[in-house]
């Protein structure tokens, strides 16, 4: 894509303690994308902490998670001299803008938002009243997100599939305002879909996710990381058996995170037989420590 003079924006919600699956699937690609954009456009990245209040009501926890995600992006290479990088709650104008946008936003736009509809469907399935447990923050989530986007004259919003509708709603709100004043008051944003990010398996072979308790923490201590790597699930094939690397969980994790030369060595060891799982775990551990020790520091 040509980013000449384009403003590209992405928001990340602080949701949980970060793990190397987040790094491989989201943080690293976002930073690399930012580097590309920076060469001839404007890259904006922020932590959407006020969006997170809808779900996280524990202030110290939210502060901690916000700090963690900001530190992770900076430690992993986001250059704040080149990318505009901020915490949403530090920009009060965004919340003024949200109030203004509300006055032009048809309520029907919110009724059709996927996240709200999914919450209603869940209530109906449980025999609860339609809006049980749904707060106005969730209901009007797309307006705050429109403010995030429209306040910066954003051309392109980099998002995953689940957020595309929110960008469309932002475009519709901008369109409604432009139509009202019969001129381009606000820039109409488009979305740029992130390719289906690489999914790293966790230590039990399911997708690495906090909710499965199978993560290798991004900023764990050496001993925590060692403990999780050593507990990666293995089978009981003999050390000398020739193995298909694609069947081996350790190999899949290594492929996501270790340098190519290490991955090649593990592949050969498995195919030929003779390389034990303990040895592979040590190689993987070393690769992870090499990748993250400095960033963690
Ligand atoms: N809603 C996004 C998410 O859950 C985060 C977000 C908030 C965002 N504001 C944004 C993303 C503006 C892009 C643009 O992932």
User: pLDDT per residue over 46-101, tens digit each?
Assistant: 999 999 999 899 999 999 999 999 999 999 999 999 999 999 999 999 999 999 99
- Please give the Cα distance from 283 to 254 (Å, whole number): 9
Residue 11: in which H helix or E strand, if any?
Answer: strand 7-12
- The phi and psi torsions of 232 (rounded to 5 degrees) equal -60, 135
Choose one of 46, 166, 173 to mutate for the ligand 1 pocket test, by most ligand atoms within 8 angstroms of C-beta: 166
CA-proximal residue: ligand 1, atom 4 (nearest): 13
Pocket of ligand 1 (CB under 6 A): 9-11, 13, 48, 51, 145, 148-149, 157, 159, 163
Looking from the CA of residue 144, the nearest atom of ligand 1 is 9
CA distances from 23 to 4, 20, 41, 178, 200 (A): 28, 5, 24, 39, 10
Average pLDDT over residues 202-212: 92
- The phi and psi torsions of 69 (rounded to 5 degrees) equal -70, -35
User: pLDDT per residue over 148-178, tens digit each?
Assistant: 999 999 999 999 888 999 999 999 999 999 9
Angle at 198 between CA 78 and CA 189, to 5 degrees: 60
Total-model pTM: 0.90
**End-to-end CA separation in angstroms for the chain:** 35
Average pLDDT over residues 177-200: 91
């Amino acid at each position: 894509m040509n980013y000449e003079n384009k403003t590209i924006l992405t928001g990340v919600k602080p949701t949980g303690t970060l793990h190397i699956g987040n790094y491989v699937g989201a943080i690293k690609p976002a930073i690399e994308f930012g580097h590309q954009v920076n060469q001839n456009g404007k890259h904006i990245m922020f932590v959407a902490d006020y969006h997170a209040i809808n779900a996280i009501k524990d202030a110290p926890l939210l502060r901690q998670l916000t700090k963690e995600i900001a530190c992770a992006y900076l430690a992993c290479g986001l250059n704040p001299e080149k990318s505009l990088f901020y915490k949403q709650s530090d920009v009060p104008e965004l919340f003024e803008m949200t109030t203004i946008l509300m006055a032009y936003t048809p309520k029907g736009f919110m009724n059709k938002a996927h996240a709200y509809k999914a919450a209603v469907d869940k209530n109906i399935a449980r025999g609860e009243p339609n809006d049980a447990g749904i707060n106005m923050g969730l209901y009007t989530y797309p307006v705050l997100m429109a403010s995030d986007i429209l306040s910066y004259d954003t051309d392109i919003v980099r998002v995953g599939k689940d957020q595309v509708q929110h960008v469309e709603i932002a475009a519709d709100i901008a369109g409604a305002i432009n139509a009202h004043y019969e001129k381009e008051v606000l820039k109409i944003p488009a979305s740029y879909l992130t390719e289906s990010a690489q999914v790293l398996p966790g230590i039990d072979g399911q997708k690495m996710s906090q909710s499965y308790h199978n993560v290798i923490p991004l900023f764990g201590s050496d001993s925590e990381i060692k403990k999780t790597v050593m507990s990666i699930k293995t089978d009981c094939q003999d050390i000398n058996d020739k193995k298909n690397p694609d069947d081996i969980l350790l190999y899949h994790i290594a492929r996501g995170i270790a340098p190519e030369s290490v991955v090649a060595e593990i592949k050969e060891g498995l195919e030929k037989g003779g390389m034990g799982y303990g040895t592979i775990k040590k190689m993987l551990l070393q690769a992870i420590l090499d990748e993250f020790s400095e960033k963690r520091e």
